[in-house]
Structure 1
Amino acid sequence: MQLPRNIAIGHGAIADTARMCTELKLGKHAIIVTGRTTREIAGESVSDILASNGFQTDIAIVTNADQANIDATVKTARDASFLVGVGGGTVIDVAKLASTLLDIPFLSVPTAAAHDGIASMRASIARDGDTVSVPAQAPLGIIADTEIIARAPYRFLASGCGDLISNYTAILDWQLAHRLRNAPYSEYAATLSRMTAQIVMDRAETIKPELEESARLVIKALVSSGVAMSIAGSSMPASGSEHKFSHALDRIAPKPAMHGEQCGVGTIMMMYLHGGNWQRIRDALRTIGAPTTA
């Protein structure tokens, strides 16, 4: 079971980067894995904070979550002590997989709260024209600066809510797989995953643009969802038929929407097929401002 050992969430949390790296005894050579835009948002700041505290830092720019970017990051980080993924899902997934291949730890520093990959032990990469989910190590530490996350376009936060609400049908599918095929099932992981979805549903009316409290609520739930997957040792607490629906849209839609947006729509459909209260799912997504139709 791989779980984050240190988590910092709050206003200005990025300032804790050097302290966390020291507490976790990660070594002194860090590669900051980031994107072109997120380098300006937070990547340079993380690099400067570490450098001013005696760390050697280099920056690796990621453009896509594919094997070429993973290989390039591995090559850059060959002599590094640890990686720091600063950005969105693409950046963090590349940092996650590169650190797994190098067998060194990594920190997750999300700049948006779009999905639960910021804390999970899975990564999504492009392969042969498709997007596949592959096993990887979970981050050893997570630093989520709510000031930065609240400034990101609200669509990212709404997408994160869709990804969290989809846990409802993922758990129903998991329970079905356990009953019909004796798939391994963890009630603890399922309960934790369900709780993250419930928090978002119950607080839907309070989730608004540019509010740090909204960013804090969603990011905490996303971290908990990622931890639920680590406890289960699989993605089943947070990924079911609604995610299959999203992956299908990725393949056939001329212009796919964001991952969490598609999962939210898929959750409405799959809850209907489970005979559950799909209207409540739809209403919560509408209240948040996430799509309810594909």
Structure 2
Amino acid sequence: MEIQEHIIELPKKVYIGTGILSKLKDYLFQLNVTSPLLIVTGPNVRKIVIDKILDNLNEINKIELIEVNDSTIDEVNRVEEKAKGSNLKFILGIGGGKTIDVTKYAAYKLNVNFISIPTAPSHDGIASPFASIKGLGKPVSVKAKMPYAIIADIDVLSTAPRRLINSGIGDTLGKLVAVRDWKLASKLTGEYYGDYTASLAILSAKHALSCTRIIHRDLKYSVRLLVEALISSGIAMGMAGSTRPASGSEHLFAHAVDLLQPNAALHGELVGIGTVIMAYIHGINWREIKRALNRIGLPTNVKELGISNEVIIKALTVAHSIRPERYTILGDRGLTWSSAEKVVRDTGIID
């Protein structure tokens, strides 16, 4: 197969460690970050984190702060408006997945550098050049700004709600299916497939599996392992030039559920369930994946999420239509109702 031009985007630097937010000023100096500086944060970011950051940056002349409440195009527009006319060159996104998504998409539209400072390891958006933004007419990720740098403080990330940490593990396990879908599409449609990039994504998923075995014994070590896996997954997307290494039929299922019953569950929770379902269809070891989810308390039955059997079955029948240009194990026509019901009953997703 002829290899066409392929452009790889990667962060300039990744800082990871315990208590490193206290060194933020030094990192920004190393990165040649200048004022004015815009900080985007979310409503659930612990006040102590923002105060610590602002105290650390007291020598920077002009810092603006804006709080966003959701990952919508309206919030992106608010950030853009705040940045207008300020000769801005850098935006810092400090918060969870929604905050990071808004910041990176606003940075993309403004064509400025984006620095990712996650406070919860809930999904691999902390390191990818793609964002999930509501209000753009489709529930899938859009092109955004690759982080210029990532600053991941394990002390901060370890104190995130456990449900968000588990969600990050669920999202990362999804790569086990995403890579299979990508390779299948390459064989059947001739789509570009990167062996090295796929291997990087699979390695991230294997680290997530390790997290499920040790997180009860050593939370901080597990969170560091998870964060490194999330960063690797994000970098894999940057290398591939698409979300292919990290998002397949398991993500299409998660998006379908979210369309049918918005905000019923966290993204990583739905991806975890989707990974079990799609592993079953692919004929790989779905039981091992389900055991991993159970070990850390991620839901494996829809009753735990308050979602009806009908919604789950319908989501499985329409998932293929969420992104019709992206071929997966679901094929062009998707599953029939009876086939979908059999899959979710056989895997114990519904009773």
TM-score grouping bracket, smaller chain normalisation = over 0.9
Is this contact kept in 2: 1:89–1:114, CA < 8 A? yes
Aligned partner of 1:19 in structure 2 is 26
Query: Which shows bigger deviation, 130-139 or 228-237?
Result: 130-139
Aligned partner of 2:249 in structure 1 is 241
**Superposed, which structure 2 residues align to 1:255-266 within 5 Å?**
255-266=263-274
- Any idea what SS the aligned residue of 2:44 has? helix
Superposed CA deviations along residues 238-285 of structure 1, whole A, max 9, x for unmatched, are 000000000011011265210011001000000000011100110111
Aligned partner of 1:48 in structure 2 is 55
C-alpha change, 1:163 and 1:209, in structure 2 (3 Å) is farther
Write 1 or 2 for the structure with the bigger share of strand.
Answer: 1
Please state how far the C-alpha of 1:209 moved relative to its aligned partner: 8.6
Aligned residue pairs total 293
Please state how far the C-alpha of 1:215 moved relative to its aligned partner: 1.4
C-alpha change, 1:203 and 1:94, in structure 2 (3 Å) is closer
**Superposed, which structure 2 residues align to 1:127-276 within 5 Å?**
127=135, 131-208=139-216, 211-253=219-261, 255-276=263-284
**Superposed, which structure 2 residues align to 1:1-150 within 5 Å?**
1-38=8-45, 40-52=47-59, 54-78=60-84, 79=86, 80-127=88-135, 131-150=139-158
Q: Partner letter of residue 112 of structure 2?
A: I
Q: TM-score, normalised by structure 1?
A: 0.95
Query: Which shows bigger deviation, 14-23 or 156-165?
Result: 14-23
Distance in 1 between residues matched to 2:252 and 2:47, nearest whole Å: 34
Is residue 301 of structure 2 the alignment partner of residue 293 of structure 1? yes
Is this contact kept in 2: 1:206–1:214, CA < 8 A? yes
C-alpha change, 1:251 and 1:215, in structure 2 (3 Å) is same
4+ runs of 1 displaced by more than 4 Å? none
Please state how far the C-alpha of 1:81 moved relative to its aligned partner: 2.3
Q: Partner letter of residue 10 of structure 2?
A: L
The RMSD of aligned alpha carbons is 1.6
Is this contact kept in 1: 2:118–2:126, CA < 8 A? yes
Please state how far the C-alpha of 1:204 moved relative to its aligned partner: 1.9
Query: Which shows bigger deviation, 6-15 or 206-215?
Result: 206-215
Q: Partner letter of residue 58 of structure 1?
A: E
Please state how far the C-alpha of 1:39 moved relative to its aligned partner: 5.8
Query: Which shows bigger deviation, 155-164 or 59-68?
Result: 59-68
Q: Partner letter of residue 24 of structure 1?
A: L
Structure 2: gaps of 5 or more residues: 1-7, 303-351
Larger radius of gyration: 2
Query: Which shows bigger deviation, 207-216 or 244-253?
Result: 207-216
Query: Which shows bigger deviation, 132-141 or 241-250?
Result: 132-141
Distance in 2 between residues matched to 1:293 and 1:208, nearest whole Å: 22
Distance in 2 between residues matched to 1:58 and 1:272, nearest whole Å: 49
Please state how far the C-alpha of 1:40 moved relative to its aligned partner: 1.3
Is this contact kept in 2: 1:32–1:43, CA < 8 A? no
Structure 1: gaps of 5 or more residues: none
Q: Which has the higher contact order (CA 8 A, sep 6+)?
A: 1
Q: Partner letter of residue 170 of structure 2?
A: G
